[in-house]
Each structure stands twice: as structure tokens, then as C-alpha cells.
Chain A
Amino acid sequence: MSAGQAVFSGWMDIAENPVHPQARTHAEEEVLSALVSQYAGTLYRVAFSVLRNPADAEDAVQEAFIRVLRHRDTLGEVRDQRVWLIRIVWNIVLDRKRRAKTRPETDDVSELARVLPAGGLTAEQIASAAQHHAHVLSCVDQLPAKEREVLMLSAFEELTSVEIAEVLGITESSVRSRLFRARNLMADLLNHSRSLR
């Protein structure tokens, strides 16, 4: 090694990348496409549970995948892609919800009756069920933010308490304690409203 090379070797050495850049880009695109196919539905449900509007939920999923596209170089470093994606879309929907506070809520009864599945129910039953669901969701909205977030995420069967903790950035014990409080508060709210009727 010459003197010049010795001088430059300390600060100009770049690791040789055996993978051709085009091949790497192509592989990243394939990974991204697979992520869309696999997790678009899950992310949509997570987004809808917060936003309760199909169009907004779809926009949030789209934005989440665009963020992934921009940071696709870091895809290889992600340990659990599903939790990572849910965390991305969760932050997006919370941000959107915060910004849309002044706008009118979209989770009215007619919207719920249109969105929720009604297998073999009469029109009257569908309207009644929608009214009940709207009431439950209004009680959920009255919960403190921390408890509400845990309760909504815990409704997803595919998420364990460890994964919920990862999405929210808290410990598993915090998830359990918050969930306990949320369920008790929900029970109180529902009993209170029932006694008023």
C-alpha cells in the first residue's frame, strides 16, 4: 500500500457492495409489493378502527406504504415487519385524528349501518345494531387517550399484548394495566347510560 493510499484508506474506504444497485432496487420493490399484498387489509382495519371512515382509512394506508417506499433501504433492518407497519399506520391515523378534531365526526349511525356487515338481518335490526354500535363507540371516545388506544388495539385478534406494547412504545405491563382500566371505565360508562334509559 502506497503512502497516498494509506492516507486515504482511513476516511475514504467504502464497503464494496456485491449486489448490483438495479438488482437491489428490484428486490426492494418485490418486498414492498409483497408487504402490500400481505398487510394492506390489516393496516386498513387498524386505520378504520381509529378514523371510522373508509376513504380516510385507505388514504392512511396509502400514506403508510409511501413512507415505507421512501425508507425502503431500511427494510432489511426491520425485525417484525407487521408490527413495524402497524406502528407506522397507527402514528399516521393518530396524527390525522388529531388534525381532524375540528371537523365533524364521520361515525354517525347511518355511516355505521352502511359500513358494518349485516348478514340476514332485517332493516330494523340493522338500524338497531348500528345505533348500538354507535353508542359503544361514543363510549370508547369518552375514554382517556391512553386507555382508548390500548382498548382499540386489543380488539385486533392478530395482535398480542407484546406487539401492542411495541406499537405504542410502552411496556407489556403498562398495556395490561391500561387495558384493565379501559375495560372497567367502559363497563361503568355503559352501565351508566343503561341506567339513564
Chain B
Amino acid sequence: MNPNPFAPDSACGALPGSAEETLRLIAGLPAPQGLEDRIHAGLRAAEPHRARILAWPAGLRPGRNWVHGAALRSAAAAAIVCVVAGGGWSIYARVQQHRPSTAVALPAHPAASGGFSNAGAMRVPQTLNGPMLIHPLTAVQTPAKAPARTARKPLHREQPNAAGKTAAQPSADK
């Protein structure tokens, strides 16, 4: 056993005797009265208590070595495997159910009782106003041929100088 290097005859430096005495005095102080009792009391208070509300059943308490039985261990392992597999399968099945629904069907909104309905009216978006035509095209091209066909027969019966008037305009002469 190695001696204490602080011994006065050891050659570890030159510390004055008074300083050495002080350090030894501090190191040799007696413990206060009742220190052990207070520590024992503190340890009793700090010791973890058993749970009073939620506690293991007497036969399954962790300290009872119940896990040492081979049958119980196998049963516990099987139960864990079943729970894990069942949980995994339930998640898998749930994901499979939701996969085919790609289109989203909007539910029909039932008319609220007492409210106003739209009566089948559809909103038509307002388009842009196009350029205004000063001379309508109907007076220049298309009406010249179409009335000519229908108005040929009356032309033979009536006067020949009335050919320029269309059948659609007799009321205008009146």
C-alpha cells in the first residue's frame, strides 16, 4: 500500500507546517451528530414506493420471475407477433379500400326548406362585346338570292318592274 504523499517526511514540495495543519484540521473534522440517522431517513424517503393505483397483479409482478416459464414466454411472444401482424394487416386493408376511389363525386345539395331555388336557371358568363357593324350583311348578299327563288312565281303574275322588291317586304309598301 502506498503511503499518503502528504506525510511530513515525504519529499513532495515544501509546504509550511501551519498550512499543512490547517488542511489536516479541515480534513479531520468530526461528522455532526445524527448525520447517519438523517441520511437513513433521507434514504427511506427517497426509496421508490410501489404504485397504489396502477399495479401489476400479484402473479405477474416484474420481480416474480414469471417470464422464466417456457410456456408463458412462448405465449407472450405469440401474442406480440399476433398484435403486430394484426395491426399491420388492418392498416394494409384500410389503405386498399381507399385506393380505387380516384374520382370525387360531389353530393347533391338538397334544397333548403323555405329557401329560394334557382328554377333551373344557369348562369351564362358575360362575353366580350364585339365590333358593331354599321351596314348589316343581310341587306347586301344573302337576302338577294333566297327571296328571288320564292318570289319568282308571283313575279310572273304581277308587274315586271316589281322584281327588285322582295316577298318579305310587301308590308313595307302598305
Residues of B within 8 A of A155 (CB): 6, 20, 23-24, 26-27
Q: Contact mask B66-79 → A, CB, 8 Å, 1/0?
A: 01101001100100
- For residue A91, CB closer than 8 A to chain B, the reply is no
Is B23 touching A151 in the complex (CB atoms < 8 A)?
yes
A157 touches B4 (CB 8 A): yes
CB of B88, distance to nearest CB on chain A (Å) = 21
Q: Is the interface of B mostly helix, strand, loop or mixed?
A: helix
Least CB distance, A47 to chain B, in whole angstroms: 10
Taking a contact as CB atoms under 8 Å apart, the answer to whether A44 and B47 are in contact is no
Which among B31, B70, B77 has the greatest number of chain A C-beta atoms within 10 A?
Answer: B31
Proximity string of chain A (161-177) to chain B, C-beta cutoff 8 Å, 1 when within and 0 when not = 11010000000100110
Of the four ranges (under 10, 10 to 19, 20 to 34, 35 or more), the interface on chain A belongs to 35 or more
Whether B43 pairs with A8 at a CB distance below 8 angstroms is: no
The answer to whether A160 and B32 have CB atoms under 8 Å apart is: no
Please classify the interface of chain A as helix (H, G, I), strand (E, B), loop, or mixed, using the class held by over half of its residues: helix
- Indicate if the CB atoms of A32 and B5 lie closer than 8 Å: no
Question: Which chain B positions have C-beta within 8 A of A172?
Answer: 2
Cα(A48)–Cα(B30), bound, Å: 10
Q: Which residue of A lies closest to B45 (CB)?
A: A66
Report Cα–Cα, A154/B19, bound state, in Å. 13
Within the assembled complex, what's the spacing in Å between the Cα atoms of A151 and B20? 10
Residues of A within 8 A of B26 (CB): 45, 48-49, 52, 116, 133, 137, 155
Of B13, B70, B73, the residue contacting A183 (CB under 8 A) is B13
Residues of B near A161 (CB, < 8 A) are 2-5
Report the Cα distance A69→B64, complex, angstroms: 21
Task: Please report the total number of B residues contacting A with Cβ < 8 Å.
Answer: 43
Q: Chain B residues with Cβ under 8 A from A190's Cβ?
A: 16, 18-19
Q: Determine if A126 is an interface residue (Cβ-Cβ < 8 Å).
A: no
The one of A4, A136, A157 in contact with B74, judged by C-beta atoms closer than 8 angstroms, is A4
Interface residue? A113 (CB, 8 A): no
Q: Is B35 engaged at the interface, CB distance under 8 Å to the other chain?
A: yes
A124 within 8 A of B: no
Residue of B3, B25, B27, B28 touching A133 (CB-CB under 8 A): B25
| Cβ-defined contact, A179 with B12, below 8 A | yes
Task: Kindly report which residue of chain B lies nearest to residue A48, judged by CB atoms.
Answer: B29
Q: List 7 A-B contacts (CB under 8 A).
A: A36-B43, A65-B42, A151-B23, A156-B4, A160-B1, A160-B2, A161-B3
**Which 4 A-B pairs have CB atoms at the shortest separation, nearest pair first?**
A183-B13, A155-B23, A41-B31, A154-B6
